[in-house]
Amino acid sequence: MLEAGNEAPRFSLNRLDGSELRFESGTQAKTSLLVFFEIDCPTCRLTIPYLNRLWREVGEGSRVLGISQDAETSTRELIEQAPIEFQVVIDSDLVITKLYDPVAVPTLFLIGTDGRIIQTLSGFDKHALNEIATAMAGKPLVIAEPFDGAPNTKYGCTSRHLEVAGEGEIAAAANPYAKRAARASRIELADTIDPFEYCMRFGDPLPVIPPTVERVERMLAASALPPDEVIARIPPNYGAATVEKIAANAVMAGCKPEMMRLLIPLVRAVCDERFNIHGVQATTHFAAPLVIVNGPIRRELEFACGSNVFSNVARANSTLGRALRRDRYVDARESRQVFLLHRRERGGESVGAVAR
């Protein structure tokens, strides 16, 4: 990969309108930022809004150029979904990618007017983004605020030219901007099949309640949200956790319908980038989420938080954590424990409950 101090190679690529763009390093009157990205990289999608802000702030004083490593059709879809406001060119044959040789995407190359690389950034890093923004603006500029819902750093994805070649087309990327997703599939069982036995194949090896249409509809009735509304996307493959799928998993875990009041915000919170559920899902370490429930809802849903709390003393304690664990199966493969803590309103004493 080219580093700071190296001369930036010159190149030409087609714009989306078919016209040719020529990048002549060393002859530019302004600094340039080259951004290599893929359409199916979650970190690339995380970075795009910050680059949009940078492009708006620097205006005509500098150039922000996105270089897509994917085909025109899928790149256009991402531009519309995100949206991408800065200029984008296509490097689907990866010729320019190989010249700059980024290890991961997104990779940013800040290039000075002398044609040499000033700074590089692989992945997502708020501090580095602000450094690049300040260098391009010629004055202090913050485009990545702390505590804005995104992590301070996030690793990227392998650059397309370093991926192992495989047969067939690339699978369609998850669209994190979509507000709706497909309804849950329906499975018709023959009369000879025991539904309880059939459902044992899904998730943990404990008995589950078959999520019949009637049971799921009762669970959905406890929420005012549409069944196909996407609450979050579950890493590592970012499957859509819709209200209906959360309801189906809640049924299987043994939840009462009123538990949807907690499950929906809980799934949304777990998938907040600051929590980093991606790391919990993918690690081989013994990590487990910790859920804290407080306020009147603790009593309304009958959570146990007294003596013998770490045994199976309350349905709410056992089923909420199990339902969350099942929701994480949208694209996960590993089972992990979920711990619940309920704080007593009196005396401020905190005690715990475990959901198995």
**What's the pLDDT band for 166 if we cut at 50, 70, 90?**
low
Same-domain check for residues 202 and 331 = yes
Q: In what order do the strands lie in the sheet with 117-122?
A: 87-90, 63-68, 32-37, 107-111, 117-122
The confidence band for 5, taking pLDDT boundaries of 50, 70 and 90, is very high
Give the count of domains, the chain: 2
- Asked whether residue 180 is domain-assigned, the answer is no
Rounded mean pLDDT of 269-292?
83
Residue of 155 and 348 predicted with greater confidence: 155
Residue 185: inside a domain, yes or no? no
Residue 25 has pLDDT above 90, yes or no: no
Asked if 234 contacts 328 with a C-beta cutoff of 8 angstroms, the reply is yes
Is 288 a domain residue?
yes
Query: Are 238 and 329 found together in one domain?
Result: yes
Does residue 49 fall inside a structural domain?
A: yes
Q: Binning pLDDT at 50, 70 and 90, where does residue 328 land?
A: low
Kindly state whether residues 129 and 201 are assigned to the same domain.
no
Q: Which two tokens stand for residue 347?
A: 């005396």
Which DSSP state fits 200? G
- Overall average pLDDT of the 317-328 stretch: 82
Cβ-in-10-Å burial (0-12, 13-18, 19+) of 187 comes to exposed
Which of residues 297 and 106 earns the better pLDDT score?
A: 106
155 and 202 housed in the same domain: no
Which CATH number covers residue 78?
3.40.30.10
End-to-end CA distance of the chain: 46
The more confident residue out of 233 and 312 is 233
* pLDDT higher at 136 or 298: 136
Check whether 274 has a pLDDT greater than 70: yes
From residue 141, alpha-carbon distances to 84, 132, 134, 205, 309 in Å are 20, 9, 5, 53, 51
Instruction: Please give the residue that has the higher pLDDT: either 286 or 194.
Output: 194
Nearest residue to 185 via CA among 239, 233, 141, 140: 239
pLDDT tier at 341, thresholds 50, 70, 90:
low
pLDDT tens by residue, 76-90: 999 998 999 999 999
Evaluate whether residue 89 is within a structural domain.
Answer: yes
**Of 91, 159, 113, residue with least CA distance to 7:** 113
Residue 211's domain comprises 195-355
Same-domain pairing of 199 and 348: yes
What's the average model confidence in pLDDT over 319-327?
A: 84
The pLDDT of residue 149 is above 90: no
Specify whether 146 is located in the same domain as 281. no
Whether 310 shows a pLDDT value over 80: the answer reads: no
User: 316 and 212, same structural domain?
Assistant: yes
Provide the pLDDT confidence category of residue 330 given band limits of 50, 70 and 90. very low
> Quick check: 356 pLDDT over 50?
no
Q: Is 40 left (phi over 0), alpha (psi -120 to 50) or beta?
A: alpha
Percentage of the chain lying above the pLDDT 70 cut: 86
Give the per-residue pLDDT at 170: 60
Is residue 5 in a domain? no
- Whether 105 and 253 map to the same domain: the answer is no
The verdict on 29 and 144 lying in the same domain is yes
Question: Could you tell me if 209 and 151 lie in one domain?
Answer: no
d(CA 108, CA 96): 14
Nearest to 100 by CA among 196, 34, 50: 34
Residues 82-99 as b/e (b if ≥16 CB within 10 A, e otherwise) read bebbbebbbbbebebbee
Please provide the average confidence, as pLDDT, over all residues in the chain: 86
Q: Are residues 211 and 295 in the same domain?
A: yes
- Per this entry, what is the length of the chain? 356
For 129-139, what is each residue's pLDDT tens digit?
999 999 999 99
In DSSP terms, 35 is beta-bridged to 66, 108
Residue 118 and residue 239 in one domain = no
Is there a domain that residue 47 lies in?
yes
Is there a domain that residue 175 lies in?
A: no
Kindly tell me if the per-residue pLDDT of 94 is higher than 90: yes
Is the pLDDT reported for residue 67 higher than 70?
A: yes
